[in-house]
Every structure is written in C-alpha cells, then in structure tokens.
Amino acid sequence: MSDNVTAIKGFADLFSPDSDAFTHMEAVARETFSRYGFTELRTPILERTELFCRGIGTETDVVQKEMYTFPDRKGRSLTLRPEATAGVMRAYIESGRSGDAVTKLFTIGPMFRYERPQKGRMRQFHQINCECLGPSEPYADAELVTMAMRFLEALGLKDLSLQLNSLGCPTCRPAYRETLRKWLSELDESALCEDCRRRMVTNPLRVLDCKVPSCREHTAETPKILDHNCPDCAAHFETVRRLLDAEKVPYVINHRLVRGLDYYTRTTFEIVSDQIGAQGTVAGGGRYDGLVEQLGGPNVSGLGFACGMERLALLLPQPEAGADRPDFFTVVLTDVARDAAYALTQALRDAGFRGEMGFSSRSIKSAMRQAGKSGARFCLLIGEDELAAQTVMLKNMDSGEQSSVAFADVVARLQK
C-alpha cells in the first residue's frame, strides 16, 4: 500500500460536532448582523498580491512574513487572502457602491496566514468579518463595537474583555509617531529585540505591539497615543465612550492596542478571552478612514472587525448531551421485510423525522448496536411477522419498552 496523502500543516478538516459549531456561529452571525442592516458579501479567496500590499501595509508581519503568495501560470503574483477587509474594499469600489451613503457588508470564510500553528492559531482559519462603509460619525463606531459584543453574547461567550484605543488620524498621528520614535531612541538599543530596532525606524507604533517580554518591560512608560490625539479625534473617542457607557458595554482602555494591520485610524478595539491561552484575541477591528481612497476609491470613511471562528469555537458552551438526537433507527429482522422497512424509513423522513436504517443483512445484534450508537429515541424493528401484520415493533431506546404499532400509525406515535 502506498503512503497516505496527509493534510497540510496548519490546515484542518472539520467533522461534526466541530463543523456544527461553525454552522451555529454562522447562523447567529447572520441573525445578529441582519438586525443592524448588514448583508452578506462573498469575495474570492484569491486576489492580486498588490491589493494586500497596498491595503494592509508592507511593514506589517502579515505582508512581510505570513502571506501565501505565488505566481499563476502567466506569472502574475496572486495571494490567498490573509484577511477579508482588503478584498471587501476592492469589491465595494469595483461594484460602484461607494456612491451610496452607507454600505454594511459581512463576509464569512477561510483566510490564510503562514504563522506557526498552535492552539487557536491555524494557517487556514476562518473569520466572520463585518465592514461598514460611509459613516464618519462616532455613532457608527459605538454601534459596531456593541454589535460585536452582542454577537459574542448571543453565542453564550462569557468573561470577555473589550479593549479600546484611538490611533488618531493623519493630522495627529505623525506627531505622536515622532514623539514615540524620539522616546524609543533614548532607550539603550540592546533593550529592544531586533524586530523592534527596525520597527523603531520604519513603524514605531508597532513596537508597542511587540510580545517579547523585555521589549514590553522597557516600553511600559512610553507616551500614550490618547494624550496626543488632536481635538477632533479626542472628541470622536469621547463620544464613542459615552455611547458605550450608556449601553452598558464595559471596556478597558489599552494604550498598547495598535493592531497588526496598518490601515487603522481613530477607534481600534480587540475582544480578548483569558480562557484559551496565548491566542486569546477572539476579535479585532476599528476605523480605517482613508483605506478606500488608498485602494483607488473615493474618500469614504469605513470601519469593521473580524472574529476568529477557531478561537470562538474553543469558547462556545458545550451543547447539551443528546440535544439533537435522531428520532428513530430502523432494524430489519429478515430479508423479505427490507423493502417495506426502507419505504417506512423514507416515509418517516418525508414526515419530518430524523433517522436512519441499517441496510446490511449482517446479524441483528450488530444492527441493534448500530441503533444504540446512533442515539435514536426509538428503534423500529421489522421482521416476517410484522410484515405480515403490516406493523412494526417500536422500542423506546431509553425505557426499553416495546409495543406493536401499525405502519399507518407510526408517524402519529413518533409525534407524541
């Protein structure tokens, strides 16, 4: 026998009940988001590499280290989407929707990042992603954050921490960046990791995001971006906070929250759980005024967020055991009854019941074992006598009770 072909590292197959959990999350997302006026957009998984370079930023880890990029047969550089936002922006601009006052879109699907796989971190992972295009008002920020929290609550997630920051705008951020760069340059160089020594020059805000303990320790007292927001950004953020307070959406301010992608302005947020280890950020997002324009569209404001479905799945409450038991399992006791049993099984499904039939003519014992394993509430046994009398033996799999029921009455009996 030749060797098995195995799945690629960091790419998973999802069987039930994991796949059921994904279906459930998607259903709750659709229901929640539709209440806020979002409609679904499905974009391609493959895009031109340039889209992500321009959209996400060439200085980010995602673009520098994590993209699955390859030439197609004509030598054009393509990339498996590492996130949904850039593709949604492209579709939004290309479809001419940027003339509309407001466009709210959600996307669900796989994303690809070449990261080191660990618990809650995959190379193919799935995001539930929302983008709201048009509104520049802080009400949109508060509404989006509230919707994200409502969605997670509807999934039954508990003990989540909502972290907020404001990254300012092109008016105030450059000055803060300079202040931070100057502050960092006064540190002993050896205090920072190699990446941070480079980031200090190219993108000093990213130093705040570094996970290396010595970097975090030495940058504990850096100047805070909120103290350097311009009056417009400060007023915007104040309103967002006031609206969240009024809706009783609890949050904490995290001065280090700069996000891993370059497009953010003003409000940024992450939702974090301490229950699933190092990869505890279940959702992240914020405002990105300027991104649409950067990708060749008009000057339209925007904001959005994405949840990682693998991480949400780790936190979902376990469904009640036996909550979705099948209704029946049909066991044939003799070959001559097989067609009648088959017909009855189909009729029960047509009547809305869930169940299966054992086709094999192996032993009755193994058929009963299959019935037990299926978890069905009832077992339908059909042998020669039953066939002659046009009845089935109906066995309650919990109590063991058995009774003879006419074919014509089975639906009514199961409905009880």
Instruction: Rank residues 136 and 334 by Cβ distance to ligand HAM and give the closer one.
Output: 136
Binding-residue total with ligand HAM (CB under 6 A): 26
3-class DSSP state of 395: strand
Instruction: Rank residues 115 and 356 by Cβ distance to ligand HAM and give the closer one.
Output: 115
List all residues 6 or more positions away from 30 whose beta carbon is below 8 Å from its beta carbon. 40, 106
The window from 69-77, 98-106, 304-312, 321-329 that contacts ligand HAM (CB under 6 A) reads: 304-312
3-class DSSP state of 295: coil
Residue owning tokens 């058995």: 402
Q: Is 83 in the site for ligand HAM (CB under 6 A)?
A: yes
Instruction: Rule CB under 6 A: choose which of 204, 284, 297, 355 binds ligand HAM.
Output: 284
Residue owning tokens 């109906």: 394
Q: How far is CA 382 from CA 158, 335, 357, 391, in A?
A: 49, 10, 11, 8
List all residues 6 or more positions away from 328 whose beta carbon is below 8 Å from its beta carbon. 348, 353, 354, 355, 376, 377, 378, 379, 380, 414
Instruction: Rank residues 218 and 311 by Cβ distance to ligand HAM and give the closer one.
Output: 311
Q: Is 128 in the site for ligand HAM (CB under 6 A)?
A: no
Instruction: Rule CB under 6 A: choose which of 115, 195, 209, 356 binds ligand HAM.
Output: 115
Q: Is 355 in the site for ligand HAM (CB under 6 A)?
A: no
264 assigned binding-site residue: yes
Site string for ligand HAM, 306-345 (x = CB under 6 A): xxx-xx----------------------------------
The window from 68-76, 301-309, 378-386, 401-409 that contacts ligand HAM (CB under 6 A) reads: 301-309
Helix axes 85-94, 49-56, angle to 10 degrees: 110
Q: DSSP assignment, residue 318?
A: P
For the chain, how big is the Rg over CA atoms in Å? 28
* Residue whose C-beta lies closest to ligand HAM: 308
- Binding site for L-histidine: what residues are annotated? 83-85, 113, 127, 131, 259, 263-264
- Binding site: what residues are annotated? 83-85, 113, 127, 131, 259, 263-264
